[in-house]
Structure 1
Amino acid sequence: MTTRFMNNMSVLSLCVILENNKLAGANYDDWYRNLRIVLMYERLIDIIDKPAVMAAVPKEDGSIDNEATKAYEKFLENGLTTKCIILTSMGSDLQRQHQDMDPPTIIEHLKKMYGAQSKTVRYQLSKTLFRSTLDVDSPVGPHVLKMIDLIKQLEKLGCKLGKELSQDLILQSLLKTFSQFIVSFNMIKISCDLYEMLNMLIDYENQIASEKKKGVAMVVGCSSKKKGK
């Protein structure tokens, strides 16, 4: 009983991988790798890797090979389970497109849709990210959020930039009005994630807006007021 319970927990843990990383297009490579892991564990990988098992053909005397019949019935059962695993790991739109296909046909169709596009998608995402610049008079918040989203999308395609390089790209995209923030951030070497950095930039931007006329010298995380002459 305990062994069966642990096995069920292991299956559920693996399926959570697909649940948390549902196929959305750009993440096809990661999704397909995770799907294969789950199917291998479930001993269902042959459903998408090997030719289909054909129905038993009656012999000349009209009898049916019972072993062949059982193998075919098991194949149909495993095929249905595999199809359910695949469909539940997709968004609703993709489910509707593939609900009437068998597992091998679903995989082949998805490869045509997304497999060959991975490099193109990655190129377009990296191009947009590396050329990102904050427009004059535009708020820093939406700009940085867009860059973080591009970074996350690239990570899903297997292109991990790392925290420090990601932070450098964001800082390089800012206007000269953030020059003091950049200097202070690099000198202090603050340890924070991208969202914490975003909040710091928004706070700094608010300081610029409220203290611009007062001649305030600002650094990351604090400000010191000086009386105007």
Structure 2
Amino acid sequence: MASNLSLRSILEANKLTSPNFLDWFRNLKIVLKQENKSYVLDTPIPPVLVDDASGKDKEAYQHHKDDDDQAACVMLASMTLKLQKQHEHMDVQSMILYLKELFNKERRTERYEISKELF
């Protein structure tokens, strides 16, 4: 567990703010990979199981849900308070999608403004 805490400290020291999204995301992937939870970034949570699902299916669903919840907590803990409030009720994939859209728009606007000043 001590190694988990030391890697998580990377995210604590570099909280997500708008200009550092790519660095933050790279660090997040490192931390989740070390904790064997990086698959939640790419794999959606399976649909909610029906009552007659096999024990193995129920266990796999619960394991994925637990890993997603833990990854979401790591993500939220490494964001500014404003971003935490905006994303606290989202799953991991929804958060990443929203953050990518949000910060890509900001980067495009910034590039446009720089180009406009140059020309």
Q: TM over 0.5: same fold?
A: yes
Q: Which runs of 5+ in 1 are unaligned?
A: 1-7, 129-229
| Match in the other structure for 1:31 | 24
Q: Equivalent residue of 1:19, what SS?
A: helix
Cα distance in 1 between the residues matched to 2:32 and 2:9: 13
Please point out which of 82, 105, 115 is paired with 2:94: 105
Which of 78, 87, 92 aligns to 2:81? It is 92
Partner of 1:43: helix, strand, or coil?
Answer: coil
CA spacing shift, 1:88–1:122, aligned 2, 3 Å: farther
* C-alpha distance in 1 between matches for 2:86 and 2:59: 31
The match for 2:13 among 2, 20, 37 is 20
Amino acid at match of 1:82: A
SS in 2 for 1:26: helix
Contact kept, 8 Å, 1:55 with 1:69, in 2: the verdict is: no
Name the CA shift for 1:20/1:124 in 2 (closer, same or farther; >3 Å). farther
Distance 2:30 2:107 in 1: 20
**Residue of structure 2 aligned with 1:53, choices 46, 51, 64:** 46
User: Number of matched residues?
Assistant: 115
Q: Which is greater in Rg?
A: 1
Q: 1:41 matched to which residue of 2?
A: 34
TM-score (norm 1): 0.46
Between Structure 1 and Structure 2, the one with more helix by share is 2
When residues 33 and 43 of structure 1 are mapped into structure 2, their CA distance, relative to the original with a 3 A threshold, is same
Alpha-carbon distance between aligned partners in 2 of 1:53 and 1:100, rounded to the nearest angstrom: 18
Residue in 2 that maps onto 1:115 = 104
- Partner of 1:56, secondary structure, is coil
SS in structure 1 opposite 2:18?
Answer: coil
Cα distance in 1, alignment partners of residues 68 and 99 from structure 2 = 17
Shift of 1:76: 1.4
Q: Structure 2: give runs of 5+ residues left out of the alignment.
A: none
RMSD of aligned alpha carbons: 2.1
* Contact 1:53–1:72 (CA under 8 A) maintained in structure 2: yes
1:68 aligns with 2:32: no
- Closer, same or farther: CA 9–124 of 1 in aligned 2, 3 Å: farther
Structure 1 distance, partners of 2:11, 2:69, is: 17
Q: Give structure 1 regions of 4+ aligned residues with deviation exceeding 4 angstroms.
A: 122-125
TM-score normalised over the length of structure 2: 0.85
